[in-house]
């Protein structure tokens, strides 16, 4: 019987390079020491991977559970004490973590590599009160990387802060730099063709100029039709086949279930959670022509699927991946203005939206809630 551990490293490397799924590559890596030695990042040539669903943190646990949709919702447990008790966002396979003391880091959840980011107190108008932990976690609402720290030492992290303003840091910076606000409150960011783009309240699209010696600026380059923004919950940006997409999520941030205005005991700022609800009803997807400033509503994503939430929004050709539905939007619960009214936190508003027929099917059959980091998409990476 052959001793597979004694295969030549060159042969093992060739085998590793033919593996397309991250889950299979991890299994290959776990066979023995010689196989682990060649199962490194440079030998993984698979396509863009389907994000895994990182579930909310279990109480008093250093482990995180990840749901792999391509493997029949298989759950993988990952030891990750570096993320315990922290607010998390995701971009390019890395988490951007915010701790209760205001420390911020980049964290690869699978290699556990960490990179320090500027302290949260260097964001504009930082006014944290001692003991108000919720205030700390709300100081960052989104975070996006220009490139993975694994691939380049010259990367930029851009965030949306509590006020809805944009701020960024370059690798090695000790403070955040605020971008002069010209569009009000921002919802999402995307790094597209060498620039950061952001979508603001009201559907305006901005490109961020962060290369000049003077103050950084956000310049208006487009507008989503306002007719689609009436029940607008939030908007996202994603690249697809070289084009910039705007994804508009419609529904209710807060829906009152009875005539609260007739009840003298009803507190609109702190309502009884049994009398309120929130949720997503539908999505619209637009493709923007930045040169002409025109838009086209997309009726189909073809073989692609979108993944949106507290992650950097991503569009993927899913034709190679079993268990993933094309022409669908996979969304998680990122509506913190609503879910903070519930003791259990966020995790309710998740699903799979079919762009063809408008139907919504469940994303995850279990329960997973958190007021800090509800379930979110994480692209697996080495």
Tokens of 20: 């397309």
User: Reading across the β-sheet that carries 328-331, which strands appear in turn?
Assistant: 314-317, 304-308, 328-331, 351-354, 360-361
What is the per-residue pLDDT for 324?
95
Residue ranges in the chain modelled with pLDDT below 70: 1-2, 125, 127-135, 183, 212-215, 230-233, 258-271
pLDDT score recorded for residue 1: 41
CA distance 376 to 90: 8
Please name the helix (run of DSSP H) or strand (run of DSSP E) that holds residue 157, with its range, or none: strand 156-161
Residue 254: count of CB within 10 angstroms of its CB: 13
How confident is the model at residue 156, as a pLDDT? 97
- The pTM is what? 0.90
CA distance 73 to 330: 14
CATH number of 47-378: 2.120.10
For the chain, give every domain's residue range: 1-46, 47-378
How high is the pLDDT of residue 266?
Answer: 60
């Amino acid at each position: 019987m052959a001793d597979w551990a004694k295969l030549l490293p060159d042969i093992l490397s060739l085998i590793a390079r033919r593996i397309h799924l991250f889950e299979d590559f991890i299994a290959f890596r776990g066979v023995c020491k010689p196989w682990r030695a060649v199962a490194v990042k440079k030998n993984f040539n698979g396509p863009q991977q389907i994000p895994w669903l990182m579930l909310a943190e279990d109480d008093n646990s250093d482990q995180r559970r990840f749901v792999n949709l391509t493997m029949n919702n298989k759950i993988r447990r990952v030891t990750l004490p570096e993320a315990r008790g922290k607010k998390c966002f995701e971009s390019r396979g890395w988490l951007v973590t915010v701790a209760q003391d205001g420390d911020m880091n980049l964290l690869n959840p699978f290699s556990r590599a960490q990179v320090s980011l500027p302290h949260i107190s260097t964001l504009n108008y930082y006014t944290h009160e001692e003991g108000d932990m919720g205030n700390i976690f709300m100081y960052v609402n989104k975070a996006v990387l220009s490139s993975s720290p694994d691939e380049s030492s010259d990367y930029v992290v851009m965030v949306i802060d509590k006020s809805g303003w944009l701020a960024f840091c370059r690798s090695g910076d000790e403070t955040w730099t605020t971008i002069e606000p010209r569009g009000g409150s921002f919802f999402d960011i995307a790094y597209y063709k060498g620039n950061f783009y952001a979508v603001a309240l009201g559907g305006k699209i901005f490109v961020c100029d962060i290369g000049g010696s003077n103050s950084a600026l956000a310049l208006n380059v487009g507008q989503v039709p306002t007719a689609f923004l009436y029940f607008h919950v939030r908007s996202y940006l994603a690249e697809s086949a070289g084009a910039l997409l705007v994804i508009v999520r419609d529904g209710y941030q807060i829906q009152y279930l009875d005539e609260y205005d007739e009840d003298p005991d009803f507190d609109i700022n702190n309502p009884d959670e049994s009398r309120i609800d929130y949720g997503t009803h539908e999505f619209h997807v637009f493709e923007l022509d930045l040169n002409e400033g025109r838009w086209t509503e997309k009726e189909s994503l073809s073989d692609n699927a979108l993944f949106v939430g507290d992650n950097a929004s991503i569009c993927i050709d899913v034709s190679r991946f079993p268990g993933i539905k094309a022409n669908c939007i996979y969304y998680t619960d990122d509506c913190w203005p609503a879910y903070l009214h519930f003791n259990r936190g966020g995790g309710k508003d998740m699903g799979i939206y079919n762009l063809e027929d408008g139907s919504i099917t469940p994303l995850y059959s279990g329960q997973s809630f958190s007021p800090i980091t509800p379930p979110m998409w994480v692209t697996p990476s080495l």
